Structure 1
């Protein structure tokens, strides 16, 4: 079967709604806080940056622990706990009259780190061959929530003020809790843990993996640049006589046009096997965009800079997790994605702090010059990136009682045509394979696994 069944469709739709409503609440602050935060007690550019990026710190710290917890007490319980923390943080920020309490509220919002639990539940409820489709739907919902946040945030802030933005995010999170409680399917079985969630024993090996480290640094720098940019961007748009509630008229066409430009880049990169070249091109677009924004002396030039930036950003945002999934050793994708997600959120935190510091010490336009320099550093790092061949991932149950039997089976499987990597986890009684689909014979592997005795 090549289509999603009814359970998989329900899983994809409901989890995408949960994920996107939560991310919408987090993103809505980006286009408005630098403008409306000036009315808060204790205002300074540094504290604006801290408040914008604060959620990333707790997200980065708790992303992996919440995933582990969901494996022990259940996905639904962890998702409800995380969303409750998000509601609490939104209410604290909505009632705040100082930038310090808003920052504390953002920290609480970030403490609801449910991404791992959501993706693990998606894996639990989907077949191996359909899982990438479901993950893609959930991933696409994040991009949609960002686009909506750029529109709804300025309009909501104009209508109800900064507190109204936070009250709206609290309502969204409550709706997400109802979706989890009544609509999200409950799993009766768990997907192979090592490919879904971070495994403590493999975290250190993954953290030292050279190629994965490059990608983790990459997503950290990407979200650093995004968050730092929004410390300065709303104020610069206002300087060109564009009212705050009109900013969405810039963001919406820029995001739509950047997506249209990004899609051909993705298609050409894959079809012509030029993924590394286009990856470096996308980073170069970020650098060019930041220099354009720094030198901009009119609104049209700044809008052009945003179009260039988001074209590169969208390409990289789609490419990075796909590369992590391909590079991750067999049986360690969960750990690789856990560290990747933590790096992403930590980048958002650093970006907020850095953007605030630069804006406070110099001027807001200088933020873009600093980000251009950071982009250049990333480009130099990425020059050594090695893009691996596309591979299919499989997991097969085994019945083994000793490490010697596991090693023997691993050697036999590794000798099969098309096998790139073999990992056998005795604790899970499962074998993980990375294979070349065009060369690999699944029946041969199943025969070997099936005849292996404890």
Structure 2
């Protein structure tokens, strides 16, 4: 990876980590501490946990559509401001309805897809797989760390203190945004004259993308529901306080993470993404089915959770990479927005479902969650392997008009996309090598004013 890509991964990864830790620290403790708010009921507690997902689901798509037409960074900044404001409202809440409002406002800062699209802009095709997998692992790790540290911190900070941390993390994320390079995208097909309906239709016609949306929906539905149900079961079965439960999540996180890494490498390097992806869903389905019968004893809970976390890490790491490969060049943010909307809609439904299942039998609660993952597996099975494209890096020649130079580069046959970072004097060319000819290679070398290895 070059220095531009490393900066981008550091900045975007840091923003993701701060947002995810802030959001998910609440999840494993709120079903217990939420009773302290006025007007709290099991359903409203579950709603407060999952409502941020509804805000994300509603606003991901419009923000992503805008990010395919306008610069991405101002949209990300707006989302982080809303995220911070929601944390402040929840931190000052005295009843459950105020918490729900704060969580909903935080969720309306729906910029996950825009962040992914920004990262895709500033990474080469060959490095994009590694970058997206890194983001997937960052997201999965951040969520798991949040599940671990939320219970450890709530005793000293209280629920309001965790919400204040959420707001503080949002401010830090705003500062990190300045670390990420600012790209200028140049596309063969301009979106300025495309309606929102046309943008959406282009993406919704791709069946494999829709299957990925189903996968992320089921993943976050089950994950959110689990952490509404689980704190009570760990107390009843293993006698653990909420603070002690964080010490259960941490080792499971690291073991599940370590086991998942070799399979992520196999998926990317050996181009076995489909096989690994479907296997991960099957493992998660089996893990939830195991919990339906084995969660009456501590060992059963530990084994079931470990299997689930292994599959969780695999899916979180592979889905962003797959979306970046399969999405149309000019509609990357829109495709990622639909995926993020599905993700957070799943979290919303999972939070509400977890609240409803809180007082149900283990067989019913875990069995229903296993059924959700099983149905998702059946719907996703027809998915094909993602395409594998190529790109190259060009140092922008000195003393040229970058706009004119970009248009000339993009006019060459075989060039699908050009991303220019004028400050760094670097451009990325996304190439379809099946359309490259000897003449087009010579044209590109001439425009680059140096030989290109393509």
**Residue in 2 that maps onto 1:87:** 84
Tell me, yes or no, if the aligned pair for 1:194 and 1:332 is still in contact at 8 Å.
no
* CA deviation profile, 1:322-364 (whole Å, cap 9, x unmatched): 223333345443332221122111111121122223335x346
Q: 1:66–1:78: 8 Å Cα contact kept in structure 2?
A: yes
- Higher RCO (Cα < 8 Å, 6 or more apart): 2
Using a 3 Å threshold, how does the CA distance of structure 1 residues 279 and 115 change in structure 2: closer, same or farther?
closer
Structure 1: segments with no counterpart, 5+ residues:
401-405, 414-421, 426-431
- The answer to which of 300-309 and 135-144 deviates more is 135-144
Describe the SS at the equivalent of 2:184: coil
Q: Kindly indicate whether residue 25 of structure 2 is the aligned counterpart of residue 28 of structure 1.
A: yes
Q: Which runs of 5+ in 2 are unaligned?
A: 394-404, 419-428, 447-454
Does residue 280 (structure 1) correspond to residue 278 (structure 2)? The answer is: yes
- Give 2:210's aligned residue: 213
Counterpart-to-counterpart distance in 1, 2:386 and 2:120:
24
Instruction: Please report the RMSD computed on the Cα atoms of aligned residues, expressed in angstroms.
Output: 3.5
Residue 184 (str. 1) matches residue 179 (str. 2): yes
Q: Report the Cα distance in structure 2 between the residues aligned to 1:444 and 1:45, rounded to whole angstroms.
A: 68
Cα distance between partner residues in 2 of 1:235 and 1:197: 50
- Work out the number of aligned pairs and report it: 421
Residue 232 of structure 2: which of 230, 235, 242 is its match?
235
Structure 1 residues 290 and 197, CA, compared in 2 at 3 Å: closer, same or farther? farther
Contact preservation (8 Å) 2:47, 2:348: yes
* Structure 1 pair 207–75 and aligned structure 2 pair: CA distance change class (3 A): closer
What whole-Å deviation, never above 9, does each CA across 1:297-329 have from its counterpart, x for those lacking one?
211110110001011111122222222333334
**Contact residue 117 and residue 332 of structure 2 kept, 8 A:** no
SS, match of residue 185 in structure 2 = coil
CA contact (8 A) 2:114 2:336 kept: no
Is 1:326 paired with 2:343? no
Per-residue deviation at 1:122? 3.6
* Stretch moving more, 368-377 or 189-198: 189-198
Alpha-carbon contact 1:50-1:103 (below 8 Å) kept: yes
Q: Is the 1:158–1:245 Cα contact (8 Å) retained in structure 2?
A: yes
Deviation at 1:254, TM superposition (A): 0.6
Alignment partners' CA distance in 1, 2:322 and 2:72? 26
Rate the CA distance shift 1:327–1:81 in 2: closer, same or farther, 3 A: closer
Residues 2-54 of structure 1 show CA distances to partners (whole Å, capped at 9, x for unaligned) of: x322x443333233222211111011111111111122222222212211111
Change (3 A) 1:71 1:286: closer
TM, length-normalised to structure 1: 0.81
Is the partner of 1:242 in helix, strand or coil? coil
**1:340 corresponds to which residue?**
339
**Counterpart of 2:155?**
158
Question: Closer, same or farther in 2 for the Cα pair 1:176/1:195, shift >3 Å?
Answer: farther
- TM-score, structure 2 normalization: 0.81
Change (3 A) 1:196 1:144: farther
| 1:18-417 pair list within 5 angstroms | 18-69=15-66, 74-123=71-120, 125-126=122-123, 130-180=127-177, 183-185=178-180, 187=182, 189-192=183-186, 200=196, 201-239=198-236, 240-269=238-267, 274-295=272-293, 296-359=295-358, 362-363=360-361, 366-392=364-390
